[in-house]
Amino acid sequence: MPALWFETAFVDNAWVDRVRLEISDGLVSAIATGVDPAAGDERHAIGLPGLPNLHSHAFQRGMAGLAEQRGTTGDDFWSWRDLMYRFLDRLGPEDVEAIATLAYVEMLEAGFTRVGEFHYLHHDPDGRLYADPAEMAARVAAAAQASGIALTLLPVFYAHGGFGGMAPGAAQRRFLNDVDGYARLLDGSRGAVAALPDAVAGIAPHSLRAATPDELRAILSLAGTNPIHIHIAEQRKEVADCLAWSGRRPVEWLQGEMPVDPRWCLVHATHVTDRERSTLAGSGAIAGLCPITEANLGDGIFPAATYLAEGGAFGIGSDSNVLISATEELRLLEYGQRLSLHQRCVLAGDRPSIGATLFAGALAGGSRALGVEGGIAIGRPADLVSLDADDPAFVARSGDRLLDSWIFAARTGIDCVWRRGTRLVEGGRHVRGEETRRRFSAVLARLMDG
């Protein structure tokens, strides 16, 4: 594998110039700075580590843009969910694989090199187990393999339709398992990702709506040291229902009843009190923020400014995949704060650069949430991004201003993306993008026809 040489690169959260990375077996094996390229080195201008995408429902990419027409009774998160349930009703294993492959190809083109797939579409359209209970998990793994993205698979436990063990609705039949069934699914899922290089399998109770306290405790015992993800406080109705059930808010309940520690990722901790927010920041758990989806679904705005000031860890996720863009997730995270606080340049930490603060934060928090160490370092996978130095957004920029300009001012800005040292994206396009798009189009044409 040829060594990669960058005029400048973001290594260990700092910019270093004239950097040469040697790669062997997919891992960075040597880093030299302030050196000339050797003959045969591949030369690039601006290097970054790939970003983790900590929360995806890949199949939802297939309905992107189809839920943007107002219904007769008004529209909200719950009516969107009904539409989404109707969309997934028709999906078979082949469909899920084709849609997920497209989503993962687009993630790589956006600079994401690992995805956390919060995977809950387990059963056949009648709600029965497939011959292999982990059939759908295997399709997700196949999509990761075909695209080349690193996978943290989060098989979802889903048993109920509301707080306190309410019966699930018919539309949820494809998601359901009891604790024993989930243990088998988890085994099968671990098997499904075993052949993928550097894959991780965590666990994911869907939400406090879908799992009772006893079930939560039972499946937590299966986690070991692996990541634990849960949807927590996305909608105000969810908070109200949780209060009615338990007298406590969702984040408050979780913090009181479960060992919330750095293994945990609280996805959409949108609606939190000051106390819940500070306790979360101190716990080492990661706030899983999905700004594009949270805007699209009308969820609300997470108090990121105070949370970051308290040292809280966060990462970003593309969730519904209505649009897949790492820069737009980070930009919208900052813009939500500007719009609600009537200020500029809000999410700065030790360094004044918003771009560098957001990038470094999402890299560290997202990596931990997905059970890996991120960033360019010896012994870690060579998961890398190069920016397109010809993009006017980068003209006469250096250091942290490159990240500010990428996130706030570039249209896409990406040239190449590597996974384990293999170049998967060139000139902004995935090397297998064309065939992936063709297959996706055929699946969508059939689904929309039926």
Contacting residues for 435 by C-beta, under 8 A, at least 6 apart: none
Residue 319 known to be catalytic: yes
Q: Please report, as residue ranges, which positions from 81 to 110 form the binding site for ligand NGQ (by CB under 6 A).
A: 81
Q: Distance from CA of residue 67 to its chain's centroid?
A: 21
In the set 268, 271, 299, 415, the catalytic residue is 268
Segment interacting with Zn ion (CB under 5 A) among 9-17, 63-71, 313-321, 370-378:
313-321
Closer by beta carbon to Zn ion, 319 or else 400? 319
CB of 55 to Zn ion, least distance (A): 6
Closer by beta carbon to ligand NGQ, 57 or else 271? 57
Residue from 319, 329, 391, 400 binding ligand NGQ (CB under 6 A):
319
Structure tokens that stand for 190 in this block: 């671990």
Segment interacting with Zn ion (CB under 5 A) among 163-171, 242-250, 314-322, 439-447:
314-322
Q: Which does 234 bind (CB under 5 to 8 A by kind): ligand NGQ, Zn ion, none?
A: ligand NGQ
Using CB under 6 A as the binding rule, whether residue 160 contacts ligand NGQ is answered as no
Mark 193-228 as b/e (b = at least 16 C-beta within 10 Å): beebebbbbbbbbbbbbbbbeebbebbbebbeebbb
Q: Which does 353 bind (CB under 5 to 8 A by kind): Zn ion, ligand NGQ, none?
A: none
Count, in order, helices (H) and strands (E) of the chain.
Answer: 14, 17
Residue 122 known to be catalytic: no
Closer by beta carbon to Zn ion, 56 or else 405? 56
Backbone angles phi, psi at 200, to 5 degrees: -130, 145
Q: Which does 81 bind (CB under 5 to 8 A by kind): ligand NGQ, Zn ion, none?
A: ligand NGQ
Using CB under 6 A as the binding rule, whether residue 320 contacts ligand NGQ is answered as yes
CB of 320 to ligand NGQ, least distance (A): 6
CB of 296 to ligand NGQ, least distance (A): 9
Using CB under 6 A as the binding rule, whether residue 271 contacts ligand NGQ is answered as no
Q: Please report, as residue ranges, which positions from 17 to 76 form the binding site for ligand NGQ (by CB under 6 A).
A: 57
301 class by beta-carbon count within 10 Å (0-12 exposed, 13-18 middle, 19+ buried): middle
Number of residues that bind ligand NGQ (CB under 6 A): 9
Q: Which does 337 bind (CB under 5 to 8 A by kind): Zn ion, ligand NGQ, none?
A: none
- Using Cβ positions, the residue closest to Zn ion within the complex turns out to be 319
Segment interacting with Zn ion (CB under 5 A) among 99-107, 164-172, 317-325, 420-428:
317-325
Backbone angles phi, psi at 373, to 5 degrees: -105, 130
Segment interacting with Zn ion (CB under 5 A) among 45-53, 318-326, 350-358, 424-432:
318-326
Q: How far apart are CA 212 and CA 207, in angstroms?
A: 9
Residue 243: helix, strand or coil by DSSP?
helix
In the set 198, 241, 299, 319, the catalytic residue is 319
CB of 54 to Zn ion, least distance (A): 10
Closer by beta carbon to ligand NGQ, 210 or else 280? 210
Q: Distance from CA of residue 71 to its chain's centroid?
A: 29
CB atoms within 10 A of CB 31: 17
Cα dihedral 167→159→366→423 (10° resolution):
-120
Closer by beta carbon to ligand NGQ, 63 or else 356? 63
CB atoms within 10 A of CB 178: 11
User: Which contacts qualify for 213-220: CB closer than 8 Å, 24 or more apart?
Assistant: 213/257, 215/157, 215/159, 215/179, 216/257, 216/258, 217/258, 218/179, 219/157, 219/179, 219/182, 219/183, 220/258, 220/259
Using CB under 6 A as the binding rule, whether residue 293 contacts ligand NGQ is answered as yes
CB of 443 to ligand NGQ, least distance (A): 19
Residues, the chain: 450
Backbone angles phi, psi at 228, to 5 degrees: -125, 115
Note the helical H segments in 221-290. Answer: 236-246, 250-257, 274-283
Applying CB under 6 A, the residues found at the interface with ligand NGQ are 57, 81, 207, 231, 234, 293, 297, 319-320
Q: Which positions are annotated as active-site residues?
A: 268, 319
